[in-house]
């Protein structure tokens, strides 16, 4: 994610009129932290079938649902009154999301140069192509397969910072919302959600990815692009639909319960293996179509009951987007070290733990000394 995909429950301009969903912030942060461990364990797997911590890719679907929910909550009632225009909406979203997109691309370029400007097969890459890849990453322009800017040679849409792919789809979701989806009634929005759910289930269970999973969208190869669009077209409208029909259902300890469920679901190994990939497709479908919406509903229903819980949720929410978008460049360095030396997780777990803690610190520093100051400046400049 992916803020993803990721938006506060209300924009700063509306903070005085709408309450804030603290638990959703916290859950978003929990999912972002789990993505780090998912990527750590990618370094020790030969395929999705044998990856121990396997379902972290579903965090993106969770982010998309959250994004649809909070965008609907924050903006849906602003369009009819004329307080929100296409220009102001896109400006707000760019200011919220794009500074960290740029930071992720820059950090990715630094990491690539630290590796010696080589593809994974050790083919040398010239600095001008690295520069082109950096510019395209900063502008969130996907890289075509086999072209010069595809500097790592493994098919990523954003080879300097892989997770930027989900921001590409997040932007698509925001554009669709502003131009089309926001105009749908609850009934027609439900029709869209139902149709996309069927398409998503068919893709997952029918093994559209080749591994019976929904971990698609990060490359332009194969069916990844339509698979990524299916993920977005279910999750984002589902979140929006929930925001329109939401009625709280109070449950004690909602944050801790939902966090535990998210952690368990994202850490499950591949279900079914290469002999029955459809089983993993069923698992992914159940998680995305049924369980995640319930978790978001419960998270939106609950509230923190003490200062400590509020601080934890706020901290997790604050770092969720930065940690998602800036952690992967260090993973490239980690993978190169592990693969070049044939290391096992048992040999490097202290380094993996340090990587986890280090990325939390990096995200916090980027948030406080780059993202927040840049966004404040942009809001003043583009008032």
Q: Taking a C-beta distance cutoff of 8 angstroms, is the pair 37, 97 a contact?
A: no
Chain-wide mean pLDDT for the chain?
Answer: 93
User: In this predicted structure, what is the pLDDT of residue 13?
Assistant: 39
Whole-angstrom Cα distance, residue 254 to residue 22?
11
Whole-angstrom Cα distance, residue 301 to residue 323?
26
Whole-angstrom Cα distance, residue 378 to residue 202?
43
Whole-angstrom Cα distance, residue 187 to residue 245?
11
Q: Which of 17-26, 141-150, 186-195 has the lowest mean pLDDT?
A: 17-26
User: In this predicted structure, what is the pLDDT of residue 17?
Assistant: 54
Taking only the tens place, the pLDDT of each residue in 296-328 is 999 999 887 788 889 999 999 999 999 999 999
Phi/psi region, residue 370 (left: phi>0; alpha: psi -120 to 50; beta: rest), is alpha
Average pLDDT over residues 206-221: 96
Taking only the tens place, the pLDDT of each residue in 36-93 is 999 999 999 999 999 999 999 999 999 999 999 999 999 999 998 888 999 999 999 9
Taking only the tens place, the pLDDT of each residue in 234-243 is 999 999 999 9
| Cα distances (angstroms) measured from residue 116 to each of 1, 40, 110, 111, 273 | 27, 22, 10, 9, 36
């Amino acid at each position: 994610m992916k803020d993803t995909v990721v938006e506060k429950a209300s924009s700063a301009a509306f903070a005085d009129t709408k309450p804030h969903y603290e638990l959703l912030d916290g859950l978003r942060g929990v999912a972002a932290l789990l993505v780090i461990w998912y990527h750590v364990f990618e370094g020790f797997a030969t395929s999705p079938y044998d990856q121990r911590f396997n379902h972290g890719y579903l965090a993106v679907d969770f982010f998309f649902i959250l994004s649809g929910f909070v965008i609907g909550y924050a903006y849906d009632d602003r369009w009819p009154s004329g307080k929100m225009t296409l220009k102001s909406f896109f400006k707000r979203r760019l200011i919220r999301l794009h500074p960290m997109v740029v930071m992720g691309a820059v950090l990715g370029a630094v990491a690539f140069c630290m590796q010696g400007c080589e593809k994974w097969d050790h083919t040398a890459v010239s600095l001008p192509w690295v520069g082109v890849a950096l510019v395209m990453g900063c502008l969130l322009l996907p890289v075509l397969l086999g072209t010069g800017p595809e500097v790592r040679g493994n098919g990523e849409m954003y080879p300097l910072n892989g997770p930027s792919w989900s921001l590409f789809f997040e932007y698509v979701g925001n554009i669709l919302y502003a131009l089309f989806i926001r105009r749908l009634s609850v009934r027609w929005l439900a029709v869209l959600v139902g149709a996309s759910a069927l398409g998503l289930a068919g893709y997952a269970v029918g093994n559209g990815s080749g591994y019976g999973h929904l971990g698609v969208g990060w490359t332009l190869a194969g069916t990844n692009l339509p698979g990524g669009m299916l993920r977005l077209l279910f999750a984002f409208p589902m979140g929006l639909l929930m925001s329109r029909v939401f009625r709280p259902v109070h449950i004690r300890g909602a944050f801790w319960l939902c966090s535990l469920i998210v952690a368990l679901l994202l850490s499950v190994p591949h279900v079914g293996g290469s002999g029955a990939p459809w089983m993993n497709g069923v698992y992914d479908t159940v998680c995305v179509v049924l369980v995640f919406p319930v978790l978001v509903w419960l998270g939106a229903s609950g509230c923190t009951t003490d200062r400590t819980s509020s601080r934890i949720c706020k901290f997790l929410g604050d770092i969720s987007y930065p940690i998602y978008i800036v952690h992967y460049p260090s993973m490239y360095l980690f993978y190169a070290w592990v693969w070049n030396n044939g290391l096992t997780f048992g040999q490097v777990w202290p380094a993996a733990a340090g990587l986890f803690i280090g990325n939390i610190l990096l995200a916090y520093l980027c948030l406080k000394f780059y993202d927040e100051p840049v966004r404040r400046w942009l809001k003043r400049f583009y008032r």
